[in-house]
Amino acid sequence: MDLRISDDQQLFRETTRKFLESTCPLETVRRLADAEPAGFERKWWKQGAELGWVSMLVAEDDGGGSISGHGLLDLVLVAEEMGRLVSPGPLVPTNVVAAALARSGTPTQRREFLPGLVNGDTVAAWCLGTAVAGIDPAGRRVEAVPRDGGYVLDGVTGPVEAGGQADLLLVTVRTGEGLTQCVVPSDAAGVAVGPAHGLDLVRRYAQVRFDQVVVPPDGVLGAAGNAASDAERQLQIAVVLQGAEMVGAVDRAFEFTVEYAFDRYSFGRPLASYQALKHRFADMKMWLEAAHATADAAARAVDLDSPLAAELVSVAKSYIGDHAPAILQDCVQLHGGIGVTWEHDLHLYIRRVVTDRSQFGTPGDHRERVAVAMGM
Amino acid sequence: MSTTDSNSVAEDETDDGESVDSFRARARLWLAENMPLLPDGATNQLLAREDESGQRARRLQRLLFDGGFAGISFPVPYGGQGLSLHHQKAFTQESLPHQMPTVFNVPTLSILAPTLLDFGTEEQKVRHIPAMLSGDELWVQFLSEPSGGSDLAGLITRATRDGDVFVLNGSKIWSSGAFRSDYSLCLARTDWQVPKHRGLTMFILKIHQPGIEVRQIKMVNGTGEFCQEFFDDVPIPATDVVGEVNNGWTVASRLLFHERNATGGGSPYVSGVATAAAGQDGQPSDLLDLARETGRTADPRVRQLVAEARVNDRVQSQLVERVTTGIRTGAFPLPAGAIPSLFAATNTERHFDIGLEIAGAGAGAWIDDDADRWGETYLLRQGLSLGGGSNEMQRNIISERVLGMPREYAADRDKPFDEVRHN
């Protein structure tokens, strides 16, 4: 948690936590994993949207609004709380697409798509049809051929988070020397969704296939051929939300692992009394606080659109992406055998954190971005 | 521990309301007119190595003092400027191209001065703090002893009361630059019939006087910065006791808190930057320079390593800011200062390891003797992991005093010190 949040933000955080604890405790997450093909229930997502889960990056004139005037700093509070309970729901893709529409959409596009996203009636997915900001989605490509002022899309991409649930797709493609972004309703002719699999129990992925999908001129978002900075911004928002989610997840798992160390006795002593283990907990605490610090710093930089944002986002992803799974595996080790059973909750956290680590750039990918930012 | 004032540095605005921006502009102008520039490629740390006597540093500190830029976060009555941490940070950023008396930062200004602010008498503060800020007094800490490393409270240097004076006998070690320094805070045992923490007293001790011998210790890289001191019937006036007699542990604990703050990068009393290494935003990277010198900037392995070091440095300064904020607001307990200290030390270890890899063959054998010799730098890899509390002690502090885990067993707990086995 950011140590500098306001009273209003603190209240928002508590409201979000109470809502998640009462509507979606871990037993519910486990039930949704088996019972719910989408991984989340639409009416639950709509309740979340009423709390502001998709309004923070959208201006008030477009039906959005934030708590603090710094929408991303409010939204990371939601992401962190969702990480603590490994909550379902397309928080990242829907907000990334909403932010993209809010930033670069025409009045017509904003009027058409934003109200549904903000009030939770619709959800969205971001399809990377080409490498974006140094991050390549498994080499899959969607080609775009200009036609009648718009484009025709062909190709396949994925795995795309919420690709099978999304009502609206934002597709980023390469056109000539630049990037172009298209807004495509998922029921447009030629769009087909195929199966994909995810490590997380409630986060759904899909392949999205584009077969001669016609994008009319008003389906192009922002400047055609000149969307690289928009796409960079989207990546930054996605990575900031991932970072907050990973930190929330590790924070919670560390909490219950410390409790376990006090409660569990061997040789007549609590685990927490052994120096060999205390020192491991000290290291984990240090990594965890460092992860909090860099997640918060990245969020602030992106919120302010700082010139350092690209580097600080990649600093955060690189650091948290390396340390979050490592801390969780230490938590497994400190729990002993129970930690590798299905019954224990730790694997839910590892699944979430490894998923976040692997999407939108691995730590190694982001170190390369840092090297570039350093002028190498 | 009493919480007094050296921690509660004003956060944003000052009494006279000078904004950070206005202060920054004023500082930039003043620095340009008064402080000499750093020669190309030099750092203040490198210049300090050629200033063994400290005379250069004293002159520079005097310039700051006369210009009204010494002790930016220190209280006005003791010669400081009474401004906030943000003003200090702005000044440090503006000072980067300039020579700065960074030798004064640690321990004089960031550790010993704030300890005096917390526990010194009014007379002691007036006597010494302005003298530190004006460059007249360099200080060191006399804490560690040859007989014990991490068990500071088990020290055996004795101060025996004799009328208006205490008489000091024993030895201290690992004091940095004692040969060039003027005063120390010296912790000594004044009562042997009580448990170890309750029989210690902190003294102000003038270094260059009869009965004190200072010896420089030659380190693995050939430097002689650290010293050992020998005390033979040295008289200390009773008016130089800091805090209460036999309450020296409280003073030492606060001193160590300031030390953790200083080594972790969270001190508001540090002005200027000694080296381009860890944790300073906007600083050049010595590893990037090394990669360029060795012609390896296109090697993907080297790019990963240089970036990893940058990531760690960025995260270190972000962590310092988080923990400093947390301690100030009460979200973290004081011992949380051990968290950035442990980070800084382990980051330094990694930094040296990365350099060793990038330096390649040149770390072990070289032709051009003017080139950076990373191998020699590497010899002192553990410096930060030992000084100011070893990593293992920091891990004890974090697990016991931040996470609340059970304390380690100690054979000397609650025993009169003269019944405890010691070296």
Contacts of A281 in chain B (CB under 8 A): 398-399, 403, 405
Contacts of B307 in chain A (CB under 8 A): 318, 367-368, 370-371, 374, 376
Query: Are A137 and A106 in a shared domain?
Result: no
Q: What is the pLDDT along chain A (376 residues), one digit of tens a residue?
A: 677 889 999 999 999 999 999 999 999 999 999 999 999 999 999 999 999 999 999 999 999 999 999 999 999 999 999 999 999 999 999 999 999 999 999 999 999 999 999 999 999 999 999 999 888 866 779 999 999 999 999 999 989 999 999 999 999 999 988 999 999 999 999 999 998 999 999 999 999 999 999 999 999 999 999 999 999 999 999 999 999 999 999 999 999 999 999 999 999 999 999 999 999 999 999 999 999 999 999 999 999 999 999 999 999 999 999 999 999 999 999 999 999 999 999 999 999 999 999 999 999 999 999 999 999 9
Query: Are A14 and A83 in a shared domain?
Result: yes
DSSP A30: H
What residues pair up with B167 in beta bridges, in sequence order?
B160, B235
Q: Do A374 and B399 touch (CB under 8 A)?
A: no
Percent helix, strand and coil across chain B, each to the nearest 5: 45, 15, 40
> Do B74 and B129 contact (CB within 8 A), yes or no?
yes
Domain stops at, among A226, A253, A286: A226
> Do A194 and A209 contact (CB within 8 A), yes or no?
yes
Distances (CA, A) of B87 to B74, B95, B362: 12, 12, 42
Name residue, tokens 């290494």: B277
Which residue, among A275, A327, A366, would best test binding to B if mutated, counting the most B CBs under 10 Å from its CB? A275
Interchain contact B392–A (C-beta under 8 A): yes
Of the candidates A68, A125, A47, A95, which has an alpha carbon nearest to the alpha carbon of residue A233?
A95
What residues pair up with A131 in beta bridges, in sequence order?
none
The CATH number covering residue A234 comes to: 1.20.140.10
- Structure token digits, residue B118: 């917390």
Query: Are A205 and A235 in a shared domain?
Result: no
- Continuous segment of H or E residues that includes residue B237: strand B226-237
> Do B89 and B139 contact (CB within 8 A), yes or no?
no
Mean pLDDT of B132-137: 98
3-class DSSP state of A152:
strand
Greater confidence (A226 vs B8) lies with: A226
> Do A197 and A204 contact (CB within 8 A), yes or no?
no
B310/B305 Cα distance (integer angstroms): 9
Q: Residue A210 falls within a domain, yes or no?
A: yes
Q: Residue A1 falls within a domain, yes or no?
A: no
> Do B81 and B71 contact (CB within 8 A), yes or no?
yes
Query: Are A175 and A54 in a shared domain?
Result: no
Query: Are A180 and A296 in a shared domain?
Result: no
Percent pLDDT > 90 in chain B is 74
A80/A70 Cα distance (integer angstroms): 16
> Do B337 and B261 contact (CB within 8 A), yes or no?
yes
B223/A94 Cα distance (integer angstroms): 59
Q: Which CATH number fits domain B276-402: 1.10.3720.10, 1.20.140.10, 2.40.160.20, 3.40.50.970?
A: 1.20.140.10
pLDDT at site B260: 77
The CATH number covering residue A115 comes to: 1.10.540.10
B92/B100 Cα distance (integer angstroms): 9
Q: Residue A356 falls within a domain, yes or no?
A: yes
What are φ and ψ of residue A80, in 5° steps? -65, -40
Query: Are A156 and A257 in a shared domain?
Result: no
Greater confidence (A215 vs B52) lies with: A215
3-class DSSP state of B246:
coil
Domain stops at, among A102, A119, A136: A119
> Do A146 and A175 contact (CB within 8 A), yes or no?
yes
B314/A308 Cα distance (integer angstroms): 11
Interchain contact B318–A (C-beta under 8 A): yes
Under the banding of pLDDT at 50, 70 and 90, the label for residue B371 is low
For the cut 50, the answer to whether the pLDDT of residue B13 exceeds it is no
B18 in catalytic set:
no
B221/B241 Cα distance (integer angstroms): 37
Sorted by sequence, the CB contacts under 8 Å of residue B350 that are 6+ apart come out as B308, B309, B312
Interchain contact B45–A (C-beta under 8 A): no
A315/B252 Cα distance (integer angstroms): 37
Strand-pair category, A220-221 with A178-185: antiparallel
Least confident of A127-136, B55-64, B145-154, B267-276: B267-276
Q: Residue A82 falls within a domain, yes or no?
A: yes
Q: Pseudo-torsion of CA B136, B206, B257, B312, nearest 10°?
A: 60
B341/B399 Cα distance (integer angstroms): 14
If one counts the domains in chain A, the total is: 3
What residues pair up with B140 in beta bridges, in sequence order?
B184
Q: Do B400 and A370 touch (CB under 8 A)?
A: no
Strand-pair category, B200-206 with B165-176: unpaired
Interchain contact B291–A (C-beta under 8 A): yes
For the cut 90, the answer to whether the pLDDT of residue B66 exceeds it is yes
Contacts of A256 in chain B (CB under 8 A): none
Mean pLDDT of B28-55: 91
B382/B286 Cα distance (integer angstroms): 18
Contacts of A274 in chain B (CB under 8 A): none
Q: Residue A344 falls within a domain, yes or no?
A: yes
Domain stops at, among A184, A206, A226: A226
Rounded to the nearest angstrom, the gap between the alpha carbon of residue B281 and the centroid of all alpha carbons in its chain is 20
What is the least distance, in Å, from the CA of A144 to any CA of chain B? 32
CA atoms lying within 13 Å on the CB side of residue A99: 26
Q: Residue A330 falls within a domain, yes or no?
A: yes
Query: Are A233 and A210 in a shared domain?
Result: no
Q: Residue A259 falls within a domain, yes or no?
A: yes
B93/B129 Cα distance (integer angstroms): 24
Query: Are A235 and A366 in a shared domain?
Result: yes
Percent pLDDT > 70 in chain B is 93
Q: What is the DSSP track for A190-256? A: TEEEEE---SSSS--EEEEEEEEEEE-GGGEESSTT--HHHHHHHHHHHHHHHHHHHHHHHHHHHHH
Of the candidates A360, A354, A359, which has an alpha carbon nearest to the alpha carbon of residue A83?
A354
A73/A93 Cα distance (integer angstroms): 17
Q: Which residues of A touch B (CB under 8 A)?
A: 3-4, 258, 261-262, 270, 272-273, 275, 278-279, 281-283, 285-286, 289-290, 292-294, 296-297, 311-312, 315, 318-319, 364, 367-368, 370-371, 374-376
Query: Are A54 and A137 in a shared domain?
Result: no
> Do B14 and B83 contact (CB within 8 A), yes or no?
yes
**Is residue B77 reached through a cis peptide bond, with omega within 30 degrees of 0 on the bond before it?**
no
Query: Are A170 and A263 in a shared domain?
Result: no
Alpha helix (H) residue ranges in B271-373: 286-293, 300-329, 338-359
- Structure token digits, residue A226: 């000149």
Q: Residue A2 falls within a domain, yes or no?
A: no
Per-chain mean pLDDT for chain B:
90
Catalytic choice (B11, B50, B259, B293): B259
For residue A220, give its domain range.
124-226
Interchain contact B385–A (C-beta under 8 A): no
Determine the straight-line distance between the first and last CA of chain B, rounded to whole angstroms. Answer: 29
Radius of gyration of the CA atoms of chain A, in A? 21
Q: How many helices (H) and strands (E) does chain A have?
A: 11, 10
For the cut 50, the answer to whether the pLDDT of residue B7 exceeds it is no
Q: How many CB atoms lie within 10 A of CB A43?
A: 8
B380 by Cβ neighbours in 10 Å (0-12 / 13-18 / 19+) ranks as middle
How do the domains of chain B map onto residue ranges?
Answer: 276-402
pLDDT at site B318: 96
pTM for the full predicted model: 0.89
The CATH number covering residue A149 comes to: 2.40.110.10
For the cut 80, the answer to whether the pLDDT of residue B75 exceeds it is yes
**Is residue A25 reached through a cis peptide bond, with omega within 30 degrees of 0 on the bond before it?**
no
A253 by Cβ neighbours in 10 Å (0-12 / 13-18 / 19+) ranks as buried
Query: Could you report the predicted ipTM of this complex, rounded to two decimals?
Result: 0.96
For the cut 60, the answer to whether the pLDDT of residue B282 exceeds it is no
Q: Do B307 and A374 touch (CB under 8 A)?
A: yes
Q: Which of A3, A275, A297 shows the shortest C-beta gap to B329?
A: A3
Contacts of B400 in chain A (CB under 8 A): 278
Contacts of A260 in chain B (CB under 8 A): none
